[in-house]
Chains A and B, each alone.
Chain A
Amino acid sequence: MSEETIINRIKEAHRDQIESATVMRVKRLSVVVKNENFIEVAESLRDTFGFTQPAAGGGVDYPSENRMQMIYYITNPEDKVLLTYRINVPRDAPKLPSLTKVWEALSFHEREAHEMFGFEFEGHPNMIPFLLPPDWRGGHPLRKDFKGEGVTE
């Protein structure tokens, strides 16, 4: 199936639940979803549209617009198309549900995003320090206003 067909079918199925769905270029799609329907749309992408292979998850910080965006990268093994699944959260209260119920392998990536940006994932099974030392007191390194070096003992 071509990328245009997939995007049109996603738009028809979830018209009110997504903010936008676009084709970035050949074999790259992008879906931005509203915060209330995060888990539902993810489950339908996995079951109906065939996006079963999770690749990674990361975040981007936009301090001038007062939001942070969390992006998940999912692949469809038959059509070999890569989808970026995005959600915007406000910068002072970055809470969102965890996607480990839908794709289990995103657990490492959510732990890293919590350390680097400060996202709070509700329902994550195992949120313990991942890449930084356990006694880190310096803040969230990948935010744009991170000053200074790490603060440990």
Chain B
Amino acid sequence: MTEPLIPPDVMRVSWGPQHPMSGQTRILLDIDGERVHKIIADLGFTHRGIEKILENRTFFQGVIPIERMVMADTANIGLGYITAIEEALGIQVPERAQWIRSLLCEMGRINSHLYAFGLQAEATGYFPAVFLWTTTDRTLLLDLFEELTGARWSYNFFLPGGVYKDFPERFQEKIIEAVHYLRRRFQDYWDAMVENAVFEMRCNDVAVLKPEDAIYLGATGPVLRGSGIAMDVRRDEPYAAYGDLDFQVITEQACDVMARTKVRFKEIGQSLNMMEQIANEIPGGEIRARASPFMRGKEAEVLSRVETARGELQIHLYTEATPNPYRVKINSPTLRNMYVFERLAELNEILVADIPVVINSIDPWYLDSDR
């Protein structure tokens, strides 16, 4: 391959593309005894060329490849593309559709954070019991998705102009029951994992990222908020129905692995509050504005931002008077966080046995960074 040469007195270990955690990537560690000197990330094992194939799809068809970037919260990523199209073509969305979109986004966020939490439990003390608890709790959310949209993971439910269908009957009561059940389980997880002596020993004061480093290196999402900086796109530029919902932006001051885990945890609590508020207060009205599947664009350039579970996603869209877009540029959150991961070995002293814990605190999803 074509990596930098190995310096003397150092051994290079390749954490190869096939490894027992999730995702495909190759990480090269330069180690000397137990201490890691340098981390080099070799990405690209899941590169699919999404930016090129979106130039061959119409606007309605383009949601399908973009949704397959992160499978665990497809709602947020699809919403980024759809808001860009609506702004470029000047389509107004009715209010009830915005509230339904926010509901699916929050459910997707809980889905993704539970998955990250299960992987963190498996990496830290090898607790496969907690990983299977999260699998069972996600089954509840997947059944709700299936009842509303027809698919469990990749629903293709957002259209330019609104959403596809309205709530079935008794759906709002089912959401409130699910929220009460998940709140009781939240307490179980907190007692079993976060207040556990083994977890605290492995996670406190490991991989500290100071606030000025976090901004300069371009961190985003829970990695940035775990270092005490309150930047969240839902609060800075409200989109969908977030201007009307009340929630708090969670930050922690400790800047280590434990702080990032706690940020994800408390965000699940905020999302549950938002789901309950939406189920109680959703306004009536239409759910879809008229937009033809064969519509042609006009000449425009739009840059839209949304907040996914891993950080901030930006979509820069160039349209012309054709049914396909001219150029779509996707700025993914995981690619920004992987640079922070490379620099962590130089800012701190990390041992080889800490590497799985540190990777899962950054929460990468390599399909997102390779596109």
Are A and B part of the same complex? yes
| Chain A residues near B (Cβ < 8 Å) | 24, 26-28, 52-56, 58, 60-61, 71, 73, 77, 80, 82, 84, 103-105, 107-109, 126, 128-134, 141-142, 146
Q: How far is the CB of A62 from chain B (nearest CB, A)?
A: 10
Decide: A77 and B229 in contact? CB cutoff 8 A: yes
Task: With CB as the reference atom, state the residue of chain A lying closest to B327.
Answer: A60
Mask, B1-27, CB within 8 Å of A = 1, is: 111100000000000000000000000
User: Given known contacts A28-B303, A77-B215, A105-B336, is B316 in contact with A131 (CB within 8 Å)?
Assistant: no
| Distance, CA A130 to CA B336, complexed state (A) | 14
Chain B residue contacts of A132, Cβ below 8 A: 44, 47
Q: How many residues on chain B are close to A (CB under 8 Å)? A: 35
Chain B residue contacts of A130, Cβ below 8 A: 43-44
Decide: B217 and A80 in contact? CB cutoff 8 A: no
Give 5 A-B contacts (CB < 8 Å), ordered by A residue. Answer: A55-B331, A128-B4, A129-B44, A132-B47, A142-B52
| Distance, CA A26 to CA B237, complexed state (A) | 9
| Distance, CA A77 to CA B220, complexed state (A) | 12
| Distance, CA A151 to CA B329, complexed state (A) | 24
Decide: A84 and B303 in contact? CB cutoff 8 A: yes
Chain B residue contacts of A131, Cβ below 8 A: 43-44, 47, 370
Contact of B316 among A58, A105, A146 (CB under 8 A): A58
| Distance, CA A114 to CA B3, complexed state (A) | 17
Decide: A141 and B339 in contact? CB cutoff 8 A: no
Total A-B contacts with CB atoms under 8 angstroms apart: 83
| Distance, CA A108 to CA B236, complexed state (A) | 27
Chain B residue contacts of A71, Cβ below 8 A: 316, 329
Contact of B329 among A53, A58, A80, A107 (CB under 8 A): A58
Q: Is B216 an interface residue (CB 8 A)?
A: yes
Task: With CB as the reference atom, state the residue of chain B lying closest to A116.
Answer: B51
Chain A residue contacts of B2, Cβ below 8 A: 128-129, 134
Chain B residue contacts of A107, Cβ below 8 A: 339
Chain A residue contacts of B229, Cβ below 8 A: 77
Decide: A108 and B217 in contact? CB cutoff 8 A: no
Contact of A80 among B51, B218, B236, B336 (CB under 8 A): B236
Task: With CB as the reference atom, state the residue of chain A lying closest to B216.
Answer: A52
Given contacts A56-B329, A60-B329, 13 further A-B contacts (CB under 8 A): A24-B303, A55-B312, A55-B336, A56-B314, A58-B329, A77-B231, A80-B231, A80-B237, A82-B314, A103-B218, A128-B4, A131-B47, A141-B52
| Chain B residues near A (Cβ < 8 Å) | 1-4, 43-44, 47, 49, 51-52, 215-218, 220, 229, 231, 236-237, 301, 303, 305, 312, 314, 316, 318, 327, 329, 331, 335-336, 338-340, 370
Chain B residue contacts of A82, Cβ below 8 A: 303, 305, 314
Task: With CB as the reference atom, state the residue of chain A lying closest to B304.
Answer: A28
User: Given known contacts A80-B231, A108-B339, A130-B43, is B331 in contact with A27 (CB within 8 Å)?
Assistant: no
Chain B residue contacts of A128, Cβ below 8 A: 2-4
Chain A residue contacts of B215, Cβ below 8 A: 52-53, 77
Decide: B217 and A104 in contact? CB cutoff 8 A: yes
Q: How far is the CB of A115 from chain B (nearest CB, A)?
A: 9
User: Given known contacts A60-B318, A77-B215, A104-B216, is B338 in contact with A27 (CB within 8 Å)?
Assistant: no
Task: With CB as the reference atom, state the residue of chain A lying closest to B3.
Answer: A128
| Distance, CA A16 to CA B352, complexed state (A) | 52
| Distance, CA A53 to CA B301, complexed state (A) | 23
Contact of B314 among A55, A126, A133 (CB under 8 A): A55
| Distance, CA A71 to CA B331, complexed state (A) | 12
Most buried by A among B44, B237, B312: B44
| Distance, CA A61 to CA B318, complexed state (A) | 11
